[in-house]
Structure formats: structure tokens, C-alpha cells
Chain A
Amino acid sequence: MAGVLVFAEIKDGKLKKASREALTIGRKLAEAAGGELSAFASDAAAAEEAGRYGAKKVYVAGVGAYSTESYTAALAEAVSQAQPAVVLFAGTSDGRDLAPRVAARLNVGVASDVDRLEWTDGKLRARRPVYSGKAFATVEVTGTPAIATTRPNAFPAEEAGGGAAEVVNLATPAENRVKLVETHTPEAGEMSLAEADIIVSGGRGLKEAQNFSYIRDLAHAIGGAVGASRATVDAGWIDHQHQVGQTGRVVSPTLYIAAGVSGAIQHLAGMSSSKHIVAINKDPEAPIFRIADLGIVGDLFQILPALTEEVKKAKAH
């Protein structure tokens, strides 16, 4: 009863970065609790990679692409076999869909969107941002298993160098009532905000929709995702998928570059936990400068293209 079970998500044959992060912190918790790290995956192909992150066993059910009901049943079965003290889900769309469903089935609680985790005095302790990052709550999860969803990018992903995990096959659970009709990928090749290490965001300072190209060009050159303020989303310049903030995505990348964003409290709520913040704004009094590590008072239409060029040059070396 001291182990940790991690829901390991596979994309294009590999573990998602957020799942590798969850496995890494899961391994540390398992060490502290004196138990074993195991994983649940929808494909035995995950066994080798999960093993490198320290998983000894991978529970596998042939559940195919994600669907709430079959995954809930399969995870509940994995929990009943592994008897873990802790179950972790990465805070991806699917992880956030599944964790509360599994928790309700097991009659236990969930610490949601945590950015710190530790095992102390036989309990799982987590820190989580609340009130859109305006406060941090430290919580103790008392049920068995204790469930948490981890905020993407908040934990490092570090291999432990283990061999392939042992595969334990689970029975394939019953049908799903929810059917996937189709998947729309509106902007092919664009990176998702939640997992991005670098985000370049634009605000109303861009003046019009087509000027988002200034943001896209830099994002593309630097290998980051495109973010946006609500003002630009409401104006129809860019899809809501890109909105950062209280009513958009909450992100914590390594680097957040904001250009032409004033820094309203609702925007800050979504990005203030970024590790490094660069702001470009022509108004020296813009509130975004209060949280920026590096602030540039200037014209984004001059600075962004210059920066894109510098980045391209730097990458070429």
C-alpha cells in the first residue's frame, strides 16, 4: 500500500511530456513512501519508456483512444490490482477528464492542478494555485489512494535508467456510450499551450488580426506556442484555444514573452507562474512590467521582427 500509480498517456507512440513529468515526481514519492512506481497505459509499447522513468510494472488495457468510461473502468481495475497509496494523472485534457471520475468511483478526493508534491508523515501533501494563482493552498489528501493531477511543466522529467517495466494485462472493459465522431485540428503544426516550454503571447497592441503574424513568426522561430489576451480573442483575431488567463488557459512555461499585452489581473492569473517573463509594451506604466523579469519599453512592431531575426541567427549556429 505504499506504491504510486501513474496514468501514462501515449501520443504518437511516445509518452507525453506531462506524463513523463508525472512519472518522475511519482518515482520520488514512491521512494519516499517506500513503495514501487507503476503505470497504467493503453498500449504495452509504453513499457520500455515507462521503465526508463522508473516504473516497475505497467498495467495495460486495450482501451484504444481515450474515452472517459472505458478508461475509468480500466484505471479502477489497475488501482485494485496495484493497491497504490497515490495515483497521479498529468493535468492534460484527458487527465483532467479522468481523475475526478476515477476518484468518485473510489470515493476519494483529488488535489487538482498541483505544482508541488511530497510524501510526509504517511500522507500526500500538495501545493496548488487557487483563485487563479492569487493564492496558493497547501493540501493534504487523506483517502487511499490519494489522487492528484499535476500541472504540466511544473515538475521536471528525469529518467532513472531502469529497464523495461513488466507488462500486466488487464481485461478490456465494457463499451463507451460516448462516441468520437471526429477530431478537428484547426491549425495543424501549432503547439498546444499547456505543454509548451515557451509561449509568445500577443495583445490588443497588435492592432489587427493579421498582425498576429508577428507573434507566430517569433513563436515559430523560437519553437514555442502562440498565446493571446482575451481582448484579441474577443475581437476575433485568434481562436479561444490560445487565450491565456482566468477564462483561458493557465500556463507555467519556462519562458513567457508578452507583446502588446497590458497585464490585466485576469491575464496575469494565467501566466504569472511562468518561470521567466519578458514583456514588450510601449507604455512604461503597463502593469505587465510589474511581473516581468525583463521589460522592454518600446514598439512591438520594431522589436519583434528584430528579435525573430536574432533568434533565427542564434539557432543557425
Chain B
Amino acid sequence: MNSVVCISHVPDTEARIKIAGAKVDEAGLKFIVSPYDEFALEEAIRVKEKSGGDVTVVTFGPDRAQQALREALARGATKAIHVKGESGDADALGIAKVLAATIKSVPHDLVFFGKQGVGTDNGLVGPMVAELLGYPQVNVVTKLEVGDGRITAHREIEAAEEVLEAPLPAVVTAQKGLNEPRYASLKGIMAAKKVAIDTKSIADLGLDEGDVLRQRVVVVSLELPPEKSGGRKIDGADANAAAQEILNYIRSEAKAL
């Protein structure tokens, strides 16, 4: 059972965002493996531990994105492919085209994504790749069982969960709750250093860089939200008075009752 896991390298969730033009100022930002991609990676490693095969991690991004691949190798991925390019200049479909072409170049049964990348907050790339490859998809998965040529996956929907069955190869996007991602061990970190990362350009994949980077969704401006100054703060020592105050607020200001 071979898996490919697409991981993106994103600013730390704790980071304060600064803006330069219509982009995030990357100077001084710490980057991490996007949190949902960690669940995707962990699941692929577990599949490998159970039924053998390779876990190939793929990232499309600038030089710094190699760190994400090293981290994944240290946790248990067996192969890594880095497609170099300014992924920040591409939109989701551009990224999906790069990843679909890369995935085609390696043997695979399962293709994993995060349900959404932190930062872009799109939730687009996984299903787009599934469409480009013509594969079935199960999105926002909280539980996965891999059987003979099929998967059974639990998909989170509004206040409920669907249990779905799909033939392989298939695309799965990972939701929190799918598993508890492991940390890299010291041994893993040492071993990861010995794995050669396969580095490619967009052109190596037989793609037209102009098409990949042709934005169909163009960011015109990027702004920080207006500082909320905080509203009224009252003492709630008298619970009944406080409850009355809240109710008044809900009725007359929020108009929610």
C-alpha cells in the first residue's frame, strides 16, 4: 500500500502576521508543517506500518519548504519530493496541477491532504487534485480503515458523520481527530538526514510554468482586521444582576432573541 502525502509549509499558528503589499511579510516568521497535514502524514505512516509500502511526501514551495519534508521524513515518511517554485504566487488550481503531475510520477494507492492549509484557509487543493487525477475523494476524514483495494472513511458533516466506502486509488483529506500525530524521534531525525530529497522544477513535470502561476484568483489587497477595542466589562459578583445585563444586551443590541 503506497501513499503520497501533500504537505504545505506555513507560518506558525501563533505567529503575528505582518503585511507587505498584498502579501504576508515572511521575514522573521517561523514556519511549520500545516497542522492538518500532520494528521494526513501520521495516517499514511500508520498505513505503511500495517501493510508496508512507501510514504512519499510532496511539497511545492520555495527552498525553505525542504524543512517540512525533513520533518516528515524524521517522523517516518520514506521518500520526499520537492517541487521548487513560488507556490505563494500560484492559486489553488495552479498548486493542484503541480501536485497532480507529481503524484502521477510515483506509485500510489492513497493520496493524502490536509482538509485545509493554514494561512490560505482554502480547503481546495485536495478535491482539485482528485478531479485532475479522476479519483474518488473523501473529504474531512476523522477515521480511516484500509481494506483490500478499498477504504472505509468517516467524513465529518454538519452535526453528523457519514461512513463512506471508496475504491482505490483515492484522495483523502484529513481532519483533526483522525489520529494523534507522533513527534520525530532522535533516531528518525538522524535517519532522515540520509534520505535524498528528489528536487524538481515545474518544467521537469512537463507543465507550463505560465499556466501554473497564472492566477485565477488574484489577491488585490491584504489587510489586518480592525483592532477590536473590547467593549464593556462589568463585575459579575451578583449573578442575577449580571444575567439581567446579558439578557438586555442580547435583546437590545445583539437582537438575537
Q: Which residues of A are in contact with B by a Cβ distance under 8 Å?
A: 68-69, 72, 92-94, 96-97, 99-101, 103-105, 107-113, 125, 128-143, 176-187, 190-195, 197-198, 222, 240-241, 243, 246-248, 250, 254-255, 257, 265-266, 269, 272-273, 275-278, 280, 284, 289-299, 302-303, 305-307, 309-311, 314-315
Contacts and interface: CB of A to CB of B under 8 A. Distances in A.
Contacts of A250: 121
A234 to B, nearest CB: 10
A248 B247 CA distance: 28
A138 B120 contact: no
Contacts of A96: 123, 139
A302 B241 CA distance: 11
B157 interface: yes
A130 B92 contact: no
A191 B249 CA distance: 23
B208 to A, nearest CB: 13
A130 B120 contact: yes
A258 B48 CA distance: 42
B243 A131 contact: no
B121 A190 contact: no
A131 B247 contact: no
Contacts of A243: 176
A137 B163 contact: no
A239 to B, nearest CB: 9
Contacts, number: 287
B253 A276 contact: yes
A139 to B, nearest CB: 5
A93 B231 CA distance: 33
B119 to A, nearest CB: 5
Interface residues of B, number: 89
Task: Report, nearest first, the 6 A-B pairs whose CB atoms are least far apart.
Answer: A298-B236, A109-B216, A192-B158, A306-B243, A104-B131, A276-B254
Given A108-B93, A109-B92, A254 B228 contact: no
A298 B242 contact: yes
B127 A272 contact: no
Contact of A314 (B120, B157, B247): B247
B138 interface: yes
Nearest to A230: B176
A181 B165 contact: yes
A178 B165 CA distance: 6
B92 A110 contact: yes
B239 A254 contact: no
Nearest to B244: A310
A278 B91 contact: no
Contact of A181 (B132, B140, B164, B235): B164
A255 B152 CA distance: 38
Contacts of B256: 197-198, 222, 254-255, 276
